[in-house]
Structures are given as structure tokens and as C-alpha cells.
């Protein structure tokens, strides 16, 4: 029992209604355990006092924190301990108990450096002045001018009622954080095909090409086949390869003089060509279909170029749009896909110009290893298949087709005899699948597409060389 302490506690309780034992520690300057012991002695005499357990939390700096306030952070102490001429690391480590921690942080902050040009290596200052943020952030807490025992909810919005009734004068508003990212807005997202299409368009524009209008999905057989010097008996014109339109099933508006020249080149030949030698039928050319390639658009543009009032001028055209073919659906084929096509018309163009243009075009796509193999197309001669080396698959893969348009296609349009036209085409889906790591084309287009993939898909950036 602590007679003096117990009496002092009872005397102190006459002046207050309620007090905490931790507060009595500060009042009497005694240890908390002695205060608790004296209090239990008082409780043993009956109901002199009433006690109840309570808890209190308090944040205090440790001895290390107090040392940081007095001397600075560990890294600052190390920095300040280094003389101008430097110091051996072993001697530096003996100066303070936390030297190892301070040395590591000072090195990572770039404040000090290890000079290995001398033996033994010495530690030197790397900067002339430092800012010890650790010490500055150890701040004392005191009551502010607007101190209150309870926290009121901070308003986030200024409403009309607050303005009308002047309530805003008595309210506290939350400060705006202009660095916050904010809630993502609900919006649409570009499909991966559109992202890759945008990159292709940019490459064509950089090379000086103009975009062709490709908004006519329904085309006549005349522009889709006959104008390209493709015979009416060609297997591609059968219903198992092409989608024909039932209504309207035929087209009737054609440039008649050009139509007669196309009929002549097919049935009897002209311009040094013997043609195909068959009975060309207008009814077959009138059939409407879903275009099987965007080359039908190229044919219309070349005819327009040949018959413009100001005469022929060299041009560069490109198009990227949908085409339709009656193909069996599998992991790499759809009945609807996109074709990328480039066309250049100029005087004296050769196969070498085509190869050089293809190297430049694919170089901008990040593809430098190309091979060309002879191929057959009804409307190009010579014709080439384009192959590139795929490092991931470690093999050559076909990426497109190309060639020089035949005179039998160009001369009936009215183009000068010395004008040649080079062209190439490839699909949009294959490079998109390679770029985004998609193995099945039905995961890219169709009802099985994962909308989350569309939403979170990265921006397309082709690795240009």
C-alpha cells in the first residue's frame, strides 16, 4: 500500500469528477503501475471510488524517431559525416549504429559515390546540397484554429439549394484533387480491326496515296469481273464462290461504249490480244452480287481517270473495306472480311517498281524479309504472291498478292498505251490476329467476340523500321 499516494489520489478526486490513471501519472509524477496499485488499495476499503477499464491510443516517436528529429535521417547523417576529401567506407560505418541503412539509402538517392580510382576505395559526396525530407516530414501535431472534437462530413457538391438558401456559408467543402484520375467515363471503344486499319491508312497517306470511295458493297458482275478481264466461265463466278443478289438481281446502267470494248476484248480480242474467244453475254455481266474484292472499286476509279476532261495524270490510290465470298467458315476464313489494296498508275511502270514499292510499304509495317513467287491472276501479268518471314512461327507465310494490270483490262478503259498500273492487296484480319495474338478469326469478328477484349485492347502501334 502507498499511504501517501492513496491519500493524494483521494484528495485529487475532490477537485474532479472523473480522471484517467494515465493522467494521474502526469499529475503525481509516479509510474503508472504504482498508480494502479494505490487505486486497488482504495478499492479494497469498499465503495470509496468507482472504476471502469478503459483504453487509450497514443502515437509517440521512438528513440530512433527522436534521433532523426535531432540529427536528421540516417542517410543525411552519413552524408554530413563525409569530409570534403572523402572517407574510407569501413571508417564511415563505425560512426553511427544505423550506418549500413543510411549508406544504402544515400547511395540510392544519388547523394554519395564510391571512388574506386584509389586504393582502398573511398566514399565521397556526389552532390553539394541535400534536402532531408524524412526529417521534415516528422512534424509535431497540435490543435488547429478550427479544432473540434468531432469530424463533420465534408460536402463534395455545391447544390442549387445551398446557393439559394445561403447554406454554403456554414458548410465545409472537400478540397478538389486535380491530380486524381477520376471515374472512367462510359464510352465506346474501337475494335482491334479499326485500330489496325487506322495504322494502315496512315502508312498509305505517308506514301502519298489517296483513298478510294468504297461504299458500294453491292456491285455488278461487269465491274467485279468483266472489267477486270475475268472470263464469264471462270470458277470464281459460280454461286458456290460468290453471293449473288436476288433483288435487285440485275444492273442496267453501264457506259455503253466501254461495255462494247470490254465485250470485244473478251470475245474476239483487241490491242494485240486474242481474248478468250467465247460468246460474251450481257445478261451475265448484269448480275448483281456482293463484291468479292475491292479491285472492282479500282476498276471504276481507273475508268474515271482515263476519261477525265483534263487527260491522264499519275495517281496513287488505296482502299480498305469489306469484301464477301461464299467460303467455308473455319479458324482462318470468314464469308466477310476486309481487303487492303494499293494501286499506282503512271507512265512506264515495271515489275521492279512494284517490288520496290512493296519493300517500302512492308518496311513501314515492320516487315523487312520478303519473298515473291510467280502466281496467276486473270487481270494481272506478271503476278506475284508476297511472302514474309514470321520470326514467331519461324517460317515464311503468305501475306498478299500483287501484279501489273493487263493491257486487256486497261486499254478498253481508254488509258494511254504507255501507262502501266501496279497493284497489291492483302487482308486486314491476318495482321490484326498476329498483332493481338488471336488464333481464331471467330474470336475477332462475329457473335463470339469478347467485348472485354475490345474494351481493354491496347492501341495498335506497328513496329515500323
pLDDT in tens, 117-174: 888 888 888 888 888 877 767 655 556 676 666 667 888 888 999 899 888 888 888 8
Average pLDDT over every residue of 439-459: 74
Contact 345, 318 (CB under 8 A): no
Q: Count CB neighbours of 248 within 10 A.
A: 10
Q: What's the confidence (pLDDT) of residue 146?
A: 67
Q: What's the confidence (pLDDT) of residue 345?
A: 94
Average pLDDT over all residues of the chain: 84
Highest mean pLDDT: which of 35-44, 199-208, 329-338? 199-208
393-418 confidence digits (pLDDT tens) = 678 888 889 999 999 999 999 999 99
Per mean pLDDT, which range of 209-223, 245-259, 413-427, 428-442 is the poorest? 428-442
Whether the predicted pLDDT of 347 surpasses 60: yes
Question: pLDDT category, 74, cuts 50, 70, 90?
Answer: confident
What is the rounded CA–CA span in Å between residue 58 and residue 81? 34
- Which of the pair, 465 or 101, is modelled with greater confidence? 101
Whether the predicted pLDDT of 101 surpasses 60: yes
Taking Cα atoms as reference points, which of 281, 264, 282, 284 lies closest to residue 273? 264
The reported pTM is 0.58
Question: pLDDT category, 332, cuts 50, 70, 90?
Answer: low
> What residues contact residue 196 under an 8 Å CB cut-off, 6+ apart?
428, 431, 432, 435, 460, 462
Residue 158 φ then ψ, to 5°: -95, 110
Whether the predicted pLDDT of 427 surpasses 50: yes
Q: What's the confidence (pLDDT) of residue 1?
A: 44
22-45 confidence digits (pLDDT tens) = 778 888 888 888 888 888 887 777
Whether the predicted pLDDT of 300 surpasses 70: yes
Q: What's the confidence (pLDDT) of residue 223?
A: 93
Q: What's the confidence (pLDDT) of residue 42?
A: 79
Question: pLDDT category, 295, cuts 50, 70, 90?
Answer: very high
Whether the predicted pLDDT of 368 surpasses 90: no
What is the rounded CA–CA span in Å between residue 405 and residue 306? 14
**Residue 149 to residues 16, 146, 152, Cα–Cα distance (Å):** 21, 10, 10
Share of the chain above pLDDT 70, in %: 91
What is the rounded CA–CA span in Å between residue 77 and residue 299? 80
Q: Count CB neighbours of 78 within 10 A.
A: 28
- Which of the pair, 239 or 85, is modelled with greater confidence? 85
Contact 385, 401 (CB under 8 A): yes
Dihedral Cα 122, 123, 125, 126, nearest 10 deg: 90
Q: What's the confidence (pLDDT) of residue 47?
A: 78
Highest mean pLDDT: which of 35-44, 165-174, 309-318, 455-464? 309-318
**Residue 22 to residues 17, 25, 32, 60, 191, Cα–Cα distance (Å):** 15, 5, 7, 15, 67
Amino acid at each position: 500500500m502507498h499511504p501517501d499516494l492513496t491519500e493524494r489520489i483521494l484528495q485529487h478526486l475532490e477537485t474532479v469528477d472523473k480522471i484517467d490513471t494515465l493522467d494521474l501519472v502526469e499529475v503525481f509524477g509516479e509510474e503508472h503501475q504504482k498508480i494502479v496499485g494505490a487505486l486497488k488499495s482504495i478499492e479494497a476499503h469498499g465503495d470509496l471510488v468507482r472504476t471502469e477499464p478503459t483504453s487509450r491510443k497514443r502515437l509517440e516517436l521512438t528513440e530512433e524517431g527522436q534521433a532523426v528529429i535531432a540529427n536528421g535521417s540516417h542517410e543525411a547523417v552519413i552524408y554530413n559525416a563525409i569530409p570534403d576529401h572523402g572517407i574510407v567506407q569501413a571508417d564511415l560505418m563505425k560512426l553511427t549504429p544505423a550506418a549500413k541503412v543510411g549508406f544504402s539509402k544515400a547511395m540510392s538517392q544519388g547523394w554519395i559515390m564510391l571512388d574506386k580510382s584509389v586504393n582502398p576505395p573511398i566514399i565521397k559526396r556526389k552532390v553539394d546540397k541535400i534536402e532531408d525530407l524524412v526529417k521534415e516530414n516528422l512534424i509535431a501535431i497540435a490543435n488547429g484554429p478550427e479544432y473540434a472534437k468531432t469530424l463533420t462530413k465534408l460536402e463534395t457538391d455545391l447544390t442549387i439549394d445551398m446557393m439559394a438558401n445561403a447554406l454554403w456559408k456554414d458548410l465545409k467543402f472537400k478540397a478538389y484533387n486535380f491530380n486524381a484520375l477520376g471515374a472512367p467515363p462510359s464510352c465506346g471503344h474501337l475494335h482491334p480491326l479499326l485500330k489496325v486499319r487506322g495504322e494502315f491508312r496512315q502508312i498509305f497517306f505517308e506514301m502519298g496515296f489517296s483513298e478510294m470511295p468504297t461504299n458500294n458493297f453491292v456491285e455488278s458482275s461487269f465491274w467485279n469481273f468483266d472489267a477486270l478481264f475475268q472470263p464469264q466461265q471462270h470458277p470464281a463466278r459460280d454461286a458456290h464462290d460468290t453471293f449473288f443478289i436476288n433483288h435487285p438481281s440485275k444492273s442496267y446502267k453501264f457506259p455503253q461504249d466501254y461495255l462494247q470494248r470490254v465485250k470485244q476484248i473478251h470475245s474476239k480480242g483487241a490491242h494485240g490480244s486474242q481474248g478468250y474467244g467465247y460468246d460474251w453475254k450481257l445478261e451475265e455481266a448484269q448480275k448483281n452480287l456482293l463484291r468479292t474484292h475491292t479491285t472492282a472499286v479500282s476498276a471504276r476509279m481507273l475508268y474515271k481517270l482515263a476519261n477525265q476532261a483534263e487527260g491522264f495524270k499519275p495517281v496513287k490510290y488505296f482502299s480498305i473495306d469489306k469484301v464477301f465470298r461464299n467460303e467455308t467458315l473455319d479458324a482462318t476464313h470468314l464469308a466477310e472480311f476486309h481487303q487492303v489494296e494499293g494501286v499506282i498508275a503512271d507512265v512506264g511502270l515495271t515489275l521492279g517498281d512494284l517490288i520496290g514499292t512493296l519493300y517500302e510499304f512492308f518496311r513501314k509495317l515492320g516487315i523487312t524479309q520478303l519473298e515473291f513467287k510467280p502466281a496467276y491472276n486473270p487481270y494481272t501479268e506478271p503476278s506475284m504472291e508476297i511472302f514474309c518471314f514470321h520470326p514467331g512461327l519461324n517460317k515464311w507465310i503468305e501475306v498478299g498478292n500483287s501484279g501489273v494490270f493487263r493491257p486487256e483490262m486497261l486499254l478498253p478503259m481508254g488509258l494511254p498505251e504507255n501507262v502501266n498500273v501496279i497493284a497489291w492487296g492483302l487482308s486486314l484480319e491476318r495482321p490484326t490476329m498476329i498483332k493481338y495474338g488471336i488464333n481464331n478469326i471467330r474470336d475477332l469478328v462475329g457473335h463470339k467476340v469478347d467485348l472485354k477484349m475490345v474494351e481493354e485492347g491496347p492501341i495498335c502501334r506497328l513496329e515500323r523500321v
